[in-house]
Chain A
Amino acid sequence: MTLMPMAPQAALAAGVLGTLSLGLMRRPPALALRALAVASIAGAMLLAVGTPAGGYASAILLSDAKSVGWQYLIYLGALPLALWLDGTDDVLTALFLGATLGMSLLAAAANLPMLFIALEFMSLPAYLLVARSRPGARGLEAAIKYFFAGGVAGALFMLGLSLYYADTRSLAASAALSPLGQAGAGLMAAAALFKLGAFPLNWWLPDAYEAAAPEVSGFLSTAMKSAAVLFLMRLCELAPEAGFIRLLPAIGAATALTGAVMALRQERLQRLFAYSSVANAGLLIIGVGAWALAGRSAEGVSALLFFLGAYAFMSNGTFAFIRFSGLETRSQLKGRGAAVPAAAAAFTILLFSLGGIPPTGGFMAKLLLLWRAVDAGLLWPAAAGALSALISLAYYLGMVRDLWFEKADESASFRPAHGASLVVACAVGVLLLGAAPWLMSSLSGGLTR
Chain B
Amino acid sequence: MTAAQVPWAAWLLFAAPVTAILFGFFVMRRLKPEWTHVPILVSCAVVTASAFWLAAEVYTGHSFDLNLFRFAEAGTWAVDFGLRIDGPGVAVLAMVSFVGSLIHLYAAGYMKGDAGFSRFFLVFHLFFLAMIGLLTANNFVQLYLFWELVGVASYLLVGFWFHKESARKAALKAFLTNRVGDFGLLLAVLLIVLQFKITHFHLLYLKAASGAAFELLPVIGVLLVWAACAKSAQFPLYFWLPDAMEGPTPTSALMHAATMVTAGVFLLVRSWPLIAAVPGLPHLIAWIGAFTALFAAIIAGTKKDLKRILAYSTVSHLGLMMLALGLGQVGVALFHLIVHGFFKAALFLCAGNIAHALHQPTANVDDVGGLQKSMRLTYLSFLLAAFSLAGVFPLGGFFSKDAILDAAWHHGGGLAVMGMLVAAGSAFYIFRMLFLAFYGARPEQKRAPHAHEAEPILGVPVLFLALGAAAAGLLKGPIERFVVMGWHGMPSGLPGLDVVLNLPGEPFLPHLNLTVAGLGTFMAALGALAAWRLTMSDPGFDWRWRGGALEAAFESDFGWKTFVDGFASAVSRLAGFTGKVLDKGGVDGLVEGTSGFARAAGAAIARSAQGRVNDYLWWMLAGTALLLGRVLR
Q: How far is the CA of A118 from the CA of B623 in the complex (A)?
A: 24
A262, B631: Cβ atoms closer than 8 Å:
no
Q: Does the CB pair A261–B631 fall under 8 Å?
A: no
Q: Tell me whether chain A's interface is mostly helix, strand or loop, or mixed.
A: helix
Q: Shortest Cβ distance from A210 into chain B, in angstroms? A: 11
Interface string of B586-617 (1 = CB under 8 A from A): 00000000010011011101100101010111
Bound state CA distance, A194 and B622, in angstroms? 12
Kindly identify, within residues 84 to 137 of chain A, every residue whose CB is under 8 Å from any CB belonging to chain B: none
- In the bound assembly, the distance between CA atoms of A189 and B616 in angstroms comes to 18
A187: which of B595, B602, B624 is its contact (CB, 8 Å)? B624
Interface mask (A29-49 → B, CB under 8 Å = 1, otherwise 0)? 000000000000000000000
Q: Interface with B: A144-152, A212-220, A401-409, A416-424, which one?
A: A144-152
User: Of B599, B601, B603, B630, which contacts A247 at CB under 8 A?
Assistant: B630
Output the least CB separation between B24 and chain A (Å): 50
Contact A243 B605, CB 8 Å, known A201-B619, A391-B598: no
Q: Quick one: given A152-B620, A201-B624, are A265 and B613 in contact (CB under 8 Å)? A: no
Partner of B617, one of A148, A198, A247, A258: A148
Tell yes or no: A75 within 8 A of B by CB.
no
A153 to B628, CA, bound (A): 14
Nearest CB on A from B601, distance (A)? 5
- Do B603 and A265 have beta carbons less than 8 Å apart? yes
CA distance A201 to B623 in the complex (A): 6
Complex formed: what's the CA distance from A244 to B599 in Å? 31
- Given contacts A179-B632, A183-B631, are A200 and B602 in contact (CB under 8 A)? no
Give complex CA distance A196, B602 in Å.
20
A242 interface residue (CB < 8 Å to B): yes
A186 to chain B: closest residue by CB: B631
Chain A CB within 8 A of B212 CB: no
Contact present for A144 and B598 (CB under 8 Å): no
Collect the chain A residues with CB atoms within 8 Å of residue B627's CB.
186, 189-190, 193, 244, 247, 251
A328 to B595, CA, bound (A): 24
Q: Is the CB of A186 within 8 A of B628?
A: yes
Given contacts A148-B617, A207-B611, contact A156 B624 (CB under 8 A): yes
With known contacts A152-B620, A264-B602, A203–B595 Cβ distance under 8 A: no
A178-195 interface (Cβ within 8 A of B)? 179, 182-183, 185-187, 189-190, 193-194
- For residue B598, which residues in chain A have a CB less than 8 angstroms away from its CB? 261, 264, 391, 394
- The reply to whether A200 and B622 contact each other, CB–CB distance below 8 Å, is yes
A70 within 8 A of B: no
Q: CB-CB < 8 A to A182: which residues of B?
A: 631-632
Question: Of the candidates B603, B613, B632, which one forms a contact with A243 in the assembled complex, judged by CB atoms under 8 Å apart?
Answer: B632
Q: Does A204 contact B (CB under 8 A)?
A: yes
With A190-B623, A200-B622, A261-B598 as given contacts, are A243 and B611 in contact (CB-CB < 8 Å)? no
Given contacts A201-B619, A201-B623, A262-B605, contact A144 B613 (CB under 8 A): yes
Contacts of B603 in A (CB 8 A): 265
Q: Please indicate the chain B residues that have their CB under 8 angstroms from the CB of A145 in the complex.
A: 613, 616
Counting residue pairs across A and B whose Cβ atoms lie within 8 Å, the total is 84
Contact at A265–B599, with CB atoms within 8 Å? yes
> Taking each of B595, B606, B617, B622, which has the highest tally of chain A beta carbons within 10 Å of its own beta carbon?
B617
Cβ contact within 8 Å between B630 and A243? yes
- CB of A258 within 8 A of CB of B605, answer yes
Question: Which residues of A are found within 8 Å of B623, using beta-carbon distances?
Answer: 190, 193, 198-201
Instruction: Judge whether A153 and B620 touch: CB under 8 Å.
Output: yes
Give CA–CA (A190, B631) in the complex, Å. 11
**In the complex, A186→B632 CA distance in Å?**
9
Contact B632 A152 (CB under 8 A): no
A-chain residues with CB within 8 Å of residue B609 when the two chains form the complex = 203
Let me know if A187 and B628 touch, CB within 8 A: yes
> What residues of chain B lie closer than 8 Å to A148, measured between beta carbons?
613, 616-617
Query: Which residues, 236 to 287 on A, are CB-close (under 8 Å) to B?
Result: 242-244, 247, 251, 258, 261-262, 264-265
B602–A265 CB distance below 8 A = yes
Chain B residues lying within 8 Å of A243, measured Cβ to Cβ, are 630-632
A289 smallest CB distance to B (angstroms): 13
Chain B: which residue is nearest A190 at the CB level?
Answer: B624
Chain B positions within 8 Å of A251 at CB level = 627
Q: How far is the CA of A153 from the CA of B620 in the complex (A)?
A: 9
Given A149-B620, A183-B632, A190-B627, decide whether A262 and B606 contact each other with a Cβ distance below 8 A. yes
Q: Report how far A145 CA is from B632 CA in the complex, Å.
A: 30
A282 to B601 Cα, complex, angstroms? 17
Q: Which residues of B contact A247 (CB under 8 A)?
A: 627, 630-631
| Max count, chain B CB within 10 A of own CB: residue among A145, A200, A244, A391 | A200
Question: Once the chains are docked, how many angstroms separate the CA of A258 from the CA of B606?
Answer: 10
Cβ-defined contact, B620 with A261, below 8 A: no
The complex places the Cα of A152 from the Cα of B623 at a distance, in Å, of 13
Q: Please give the distance in Å from A259's CB to the nearest CB on chain B.
A: 10
Mask of B394-429 contacts with A, CB within 8 angstroms, 1/0: 000000000000000000000000000000000000
Contacts of B617 in A (CB 8 A): 148-149, 152
B620 partner, pick from A200, A258, A264, A391, beta carbons under 8 A: A200
Residues of chain A within 8 A (CB-CB) of B620 are 149, 152-153, 190, 194, 200-201, 203
Chain B residues 230-253 with CB under 8 Å of chain A are none
With a CB–CB cut-off of 8 A, which chain A residues contact B611?
207
A411: min CB distance to chain B, Å? 29
CA distance A193 to B603 in the complex (A): 23
Question: CA separation between A366 and B110, bound complex, in Å?
Answer: 76
Residue among B606, B623, B628, B631 with most chain A CB within 10 A: B631
User: With the chains together, A266 CA to B540 CA distance in Å?
Assistant: 85
Bound-state Cα–Cα, A79 to B205, Å:
87
Chain B 422-462 interface mask (CB, 8 Å, partner A; 1/0): 00000000000000000000000000000000000000000
B602 → chain A closest CB, angstroms: 4
Nearest neighbor of A266 in chain B, beta-carbon distance: B602
Return chain A residues, CB-CB under 8 Å to B630.
243, 247
Interchain nearest-CB distance for A255 vs B (Å):
11
Give bound CA distance, A244 to B623, whole Å: 13
A242 to B631, CA, bound (A): 8
Across the interface, B631 reaches (CB within 8 A) one of A149, A185, A258, namely: A185
Contact B616 A244 (CB under 8 A): no
A149 near B616: Cβ-Cβ < 8 Å: yes
Minimum distance in angstroms from A449 CB to a CB of chain B: 35
A204 engages B616 (CB within 8 Å): yes
Least CB distance from A138 to B in Å reads 11
B599:A264 contact, CB within 8 angstroms = yes
* CB-contacts of A409-447 with B (<8 A): none
A302 to B605, CA, bound (A): 34
Write out the residue numbers on chain B whose beta carbons fall within 8 Å of the beta carbon of A183. 628, 631-632
- Interchain nearest-CB distance for B362 vs A (Å): 57
8 A Cβ contacts from B39-78 to A: none
Q: Which residues of B contact A179 (CB under 8 A)?
A: 632
Question: Smallest CB–CB gap between A125 and chain B, Å?
Answer: 20
Residues of A within 8 A of B622 (CB): 200
Assembly CA distance A185 to B598 (angstroms): 34
Within the complex, the shortest CB–CB distance from A288 to chain B, in Å, comes to 15
C-alpha spacing A129/B314, complex, angstroms: 97
Partner of A262, one of B595, B602, B628: B602
What CA separation (Å) do A156 and B617 show in the bound complex?
12
Once the chains are docked, how many angstroms separate the CA of A360 from the CA of B611? 36
B612 to chain A minimum Cβ distance, whole angstroms, is 9
Write the nearest CB–CB distance from A371 to chain B, whole angstroms: 26
**Complex CA–CA separation, A430 to B320 (angstroms):** 82
A200-B623, A391-B598 given; name 17 further pairs at CB < 8 Å: A148-B613, A148-B616, A149-B616, A149-B617, A153-B620, A179-B632, A182-B632, A186-B632, A190-B623, A190-B628, A198-B623, A199-B623, A200-B622, A201-B624, A242-B631, A258-B605, A261-B599
List of 9 A-B pairs having minimum Cβ-Cβ separation, nearest first: A243-B631, A203-B616, A186-B631, A200-B623, A190-B624, A265-B602, A261-B602, A200-B619, A186-B628
Cβ contacts A to B, 11 pairs, < 8 Å = A144-B613, A148-B617, A186-B624, A187-B624, A187-B628, A190-B627, A201-B620, A261-B602, A262-B605, A265-B603, A391-B598
